Amino acid sequence: MPGKRDRKTGSYTHPEASALLRPEVGAQPQFKKKRPPVSYRYDSSLSPALEWDGQNPAREQAEQHIRGILDAFAAGRGRLRPLIAELRDAGQDRLANELEGLIEGDLATGEKAAVALESLSTPFLNWSGKAERLSFEVPTLPLFVHERLSTKAILQTLKGHKRDRQLDLFDLFGERDMALHEKLLKAYEHANGWTNRLILGDSLVVMSSLLHYESMAGQVQMIYMDPPYGVKFGSNFQPFVRKRDVKHNDDEDMTREPEMVKAYRDTWELGLHSYLTYLRDRLLLCRELLAPSGSIFVQISDENLHHVREVMDEVFGGENFVVLILVKKTGGQKGGFIQPVNDYLVWYARDKVLAQGSFVRLFESMSLPDLIAEGFNIVEFPNGDEARLADVKGPNGDSRDYEHFPELFVQEHPDCKLFASNPLTSGGFRKNQSVKFEFKGRSFDPGIARGNCWKHTAVTEDGRSSGMDRLAHANRLFVGKNQLRFKRYSTDFPFKTISNWWDSFGGASNPLYVVQTNEQIVRRCLLMTTKPGDLILDPTYGSGTSAYV
C-alpha cells in the first residue's frame, strides 16, 4: 500500500477505449479567432397541426403526374435490364456499363427527386413561426474554461472529507467549501485534454460552439436529452437544488432572479409553438453532433409525445426511428381518471443501419411470476420426484394455487427447484444422434423414422460417454409426454433481454431537483449505445444526473 504522501493524482482511463483525440479547449489563441454566427437551414416542407393541402385539386393532379414519373422510371429500368444482359452476353461490355451507369446515376437521381416531391404531399406538422423561420442564426462563441478538475482528485478528496452533510454537484465540482490548498494541489493537476465537461449556457449556443469552435461534428456517440416537457409555459424553474417546491405561475415563488424567470417565460412566448421551434432547432444541432452510428434519446411525457415524434421524424428521418420506450416513474394515482405513471424515451439513430453495429443488448433479472410465465412451472422435489407446479399441494396436503402465488410456493417449499423443459430433438439424420437412447429403463426414439435426431450424441465411437449420457448424469433429462426433454433450471440464467417496457424503477430516489431523472434511465441509454471512451452529451442536464451516471 503506498503511504498517504506517495499518492499521485492521475486520470481514470479505460484500456479498451478507442475514442478520437479530443480538441484542447479554452486555449487563449482560440478566443482570438472571431467566428461569424452560423446559419442552420432546414426543409420546412416536411414538417406538427397536421396539415396537408387536401382542398386543392391541383395537388391531386400533381400527385398523379409524380406517380406517372415513378412508373415510367420503373418501366424504363425494367426494359434496360434485359438489354444490358444481352449486351454482356454479346461481349459488348462498354455499352452495357454505359446503360448500367444510366440506371444507377441519372435514373436513380430522377427517381429520388420524384419520391421527395411525392413526400411533399404527405401530412406535415405546422406551427406558428415554422415557415417564417426557414433558417436561424446562432452566435458562435468560444467556450471559456473556468476550471479543470481531476475526477480522481475529487474522489480522493471526497473520501477524506467528513461526511457530516449531504454532498451535491457543486461540492463535486469544487465550487465551494473546499480548502484552497486542496483546490490548488489536487483539483488542478489534470493533464492536458479533457474527459468530462460541464458547460454553462444555452444548449443551442453551446452545441453550435461545440460544432464550430471545437469541430465536434459527428463525434458524439449518444445524446440523452430531457428537455422541458412543453407544458405549463408560465412556470418558474428551480434555480437551486436545495429548494424543490416550485409552483406553477406563482411570482411569489420566483426566488431571487426575476430576470432569469422572465427570460425563461419569454422563451415560451407562443406556448407550444415556441416550444416546437425550441426543440426543432436543438434537435437539428444534435443531429450534426452525432456520430454516424450515434443515438439520441429524448425523454418526454404524453402531452407532447406525438409532436416530438413528428419533429424527430422530420429532423432524423422516420426511417431512423428505433423504438419508443415506456419509463415508469411513479406508482401513485390521484384525480378522477386513470393517471399516467410514465414518461417516454423516444430513441432515434443518426443512421439506424450503422447504429445496429454499436448496439449492446442489456439483460434484467426475471421475477418469479416472469419465470413461471416463461415455462419454469415444473417442480423438482429434493427426493428427485417431479410434478407440475399447478398440481403441487401445500405442506399439509391442502390445495394451493401456486402458479398464481409463486412466492407462497417458494416460502412453503424452500428446498424445491423450478425448471422448464426444452426439446432435445431436431430435424436431420446424424449417425451418432439418430439412435434410440435408454433412460431410467425406457427406450426413447428421437423420431428416427421421420428423419430426426437428438441434439446431442447418443452413442460414441471411442467408448467415451455421449452427450445424452452426460445430460443424464447431470440430472438434466426430463421425461415429458413420452419424450425426453432438457431440464432448464430457473437458476441457470434467470435473466431476460430488456424490452421497451422499463417499469422496474420509479422516479429518482431522494431527488434534489424537481425534475431529476432516475439515474437508471440514463445508465441504460448509455450502456446500450456506447463503449468506454465514447462521448455522450446531455444538452439539458438540469441537476446533473448524466454526469453522475
Ligand X SMILES: C[S@@+](CC[C@H](N)C(=O)[O-])C[C@H]1O[C@@H](n2cnc3c(N)ncnc32)[C@H](O)[C@@H]1O
Query: Which residue number, 238 or 320, has a Cβ lying nearer to ligand X?
Result: 238
DSSP, residue by residue, 429-494: --TTTSS-EEETTEEE---GGGTEEESS-S--SSSPPPHHHHHHHTT-EEE-SSSEEEEEETTT--
Output 69 or 547, the one with its CB closest to ligand X: 547
| 3-class DSSP state of 546 | helix
Beta bridge partners of 220: 290, 535
If the CB atoms of residues 99 and 527 are measured against ligand X, the closer one turns out to be 527
Min separation Cβ 247 and ligand X, Å: 16
Measured from the CB atom, the residue of 66 and 325 that comes closer to ligand X is: 325
Nearer to ligand X by Cβ, of 295 and 358: the residue is 295
Footprint of ligand X on this chain (CB under 6 A)? 202-203, 226-228, 237, 513, 515-517, 540-543, 545
CB nearer to ligand X: pick between 191 and 263: 263
Nearest distance, CB of residue 13 and ligand X, angstroms: 27
Determine the distance from the C-alpha atom of residue 104 to the mean position of all C-alpha atoms in its chain, rounded to a whole number.
35
- Tell me whether residue 62 or residue 241 sits nearer to ligand X (CB atom): 241
Least distance in angstroms from the C-beta of 506 to ligand X: 14
| Residue found under cell 416550444 | 275
Q: Is the dihedral of CA 201, 203, 207, 208 positive or negative?
A: negative
- DSSP per-residue codes, 182-245: HHHHTGGGPPSS-S-----S-HHHHHHHHHHTS--TT-EEEEEE----S--TT------TT---
For residue 401, give the C-alpha cell: 394455487
* Euclidean distance between CA atoms 521 and 518, whole angstroms: 6
Shortest distance in whole angstroms from residue 363 CB to ligand X: 25
Q: Is the Cβ of residue 98 or residue 175 nearer to ligand X in the bound state?
A: 175
50 alpha carbon, distance to own chain's centre: 28
User: What cell numbers appear for 350 in the block?
Assistant: 443518426
* Among 213, 62, 244, residue whose Cα is nearest residue 142: 213
CB neighbours (10 Å) of residue 385?
A: 9
Helix axes 203-212, 272-289, angle to 10 degrees: 20
Please give the Cα distance from 406 to 418 (Å, whole number).
10
Residues 373, 539 contacting (CB under 8 angstroms): no
User: CB 301 → ligand X: shortest distance, Å?
Assistant: 10
Q: In whole angstroms, give the CA distance from residue 403 to residue 369.
A: 8
Q: What is the DSSP letter of 45?
A: S
> CB 548 → ligand X: shortest distance, Å?
9
CA 290/CA 31 separation, integer angstroms: 25
Nearest approach, Cβ of 545 to ligand X (angstroms)?
3
Nearer to ligand X, 194 or 237 (CB): 237
Short-list 536, 489, 545, 549, CA closest to 516: 545
Selection from 294, 226, 203 nearest residue 211 by Cα: 203
Nearest distance from C-beta of residue 308 to ligand X, angstroms: 13
Residue in 377, 385, 381, 390 with CA at minimum distance from that of residue 479? 385
CB of 228 to ligand X, least distance (A): 5
The SS3 call for residue 518 is coil
> Which residue number, 213 or 541, has a Cβ lying nearer to ligand X?
541
Going by DSSP bridges, is the β-strand pair 386-388/378-380 parallel, antiparallel, or unpaired?
A: antiparallel
Please identify, using beta-carbon distances, which residue of 99 and 514 lies nearer to ligand X. Answer: 514
Least distance CB 119 / ligand X (angstroms): 31
Q: Which C-beta is closer to ligand X: that of 281 or that of 380?
A: 281
CA pseudo-torsion sign 238, 240, 245, 250: negative
Residue nearest to ligand X (CB): 542
- Exposed, middle or buried: residue 471 (CB in 10 Å: 0-12, 13-18, 19+)? buried
In the bound state with ligand X, the residue whose beta carbon lies nearer, of 299 and 457, is 299
